Amino acid sequence: MIYYWYSIVKILILRNFQSEVNYDQTIKRTFRVGPFDCDGFRVMTAAKYPVYMDFIRWELIARSKLYKAIVKRKLAPSLGSQKIIYRKPLKIWSKFDVILESAGMDDKWVYYVHYFEQKNEVKAIGIARTLVWKRDRPTALTDIMKEVGATEKIDPPLWVLNIFKEDKEIIENANKKNYSEQSTVL
């Protein structure tokens, strides 16, 4: 967790020395698989992919007008859901790129596709939908997006929307089962 927060603080500091990017610009960052990223087989563990996805999204926010729009309103950017498709492993000490591409937005969600590439080969793909919160409530994106220059909504592709289609129902069904009452203490 220390490395995570160190990286976020570094991103926020470096934003002052990097060029500004557009809110929907495709950005790329190169990382290296470290020993603490790996499992016993010396490949990056599945738990680390979402961390690198967070880093690249934070960088997009920090380097774009989104940062000022979010901070000014005292909002909290948040991850709503993500899906990751793992294709091939990333080995210890090897470099890899994370490419963040905007996939569109609706009134509540902003959708992103993250490509994990190494030597021009896609090793994994992460698809995420994000939103912003204020006082435990999702905030409409319309005002924020107008402020950062979004003149029209770009609908996400159908394949992206379909990935998240059942999320709400899955959570509602889990709440109906009330797992806390059914669990046993070991």
pLDDT digits (tens, 9 = 90+) for 133-163: 888 777 778 788 888 888 778 899 999 999 9
Q: What is the pLDDT of residue 141?
A: 80
Six token digits for residue 75: 């909002």
List the single range of 10-19, 101-110, 119-128 with lowest mean pLDDT. Answer: 101-110
**Model pTM score:** 0.89
Residue 84, pLDDT > 90, answer yes
User: H-helix or E-strand containing 30?
Assistant: strand 27-32
Closest CA to 81 of 46, 131, 23, 134: 131
Q: What is the pLDDT of residue 157?
A: 95
CA 142/CA 106 separation, integer angstroms: 9
Q: What is the pLDDT of residue 31?
A: 97
Given a contact cutoff of 8 angstroms between Cβ atoms, the answer to whether 145 and 130 are in contact is no
Other beta carbons within 10 angstroms of residue 103's beta carbon come to 20
Per-residue CA distances from 179 to 95, 96, 173, 176 (Å):
41, 39, 11, 9
Amino acid at 11: I
Topology (CATH level 3) of domain 2-177: Thiol Ester Dehydrase; Chain A (3.10.129)
In the chain, domain spans: 2-177
Strand ranges (DSSP E) for 58-153?
76-86, 95-105, 110-118, 121-134, 137-138
| Number of helical (H) and strand (E) elements in the chain, helices listed first | 7, 6
Residue 177, pLDDT > 90, answer no
Q: What is the pLDDT of residue 184?
A: 62
**pLDDT grade, residue 179 (50/70/90)?**
low
**pLDDT grade, residue 186 (50/70/90)?**
low
Q: What is the pLDDT of residue 154?
A: 87
Q: What is the pLDDT of residue 151?
A: 76
For the segment 37-45, the average pLDDT, to the nearest whole number, is 94
For the segment 79-96, the average pLDDT, to the nearest whole number, is 96
Given a contact cutoff of 8 angstroms between Cβ atoms, the answer to whether 112 and 128 are in contact is yes
Closest CA to 52 of 112, 110, 106, 103: 112
CA 56/CA 63 separation, integer angstroms: 11
Residue 66, pLDDT > 90, answer yes
Q: What is the mean pLDDT of the chain?
A: 91
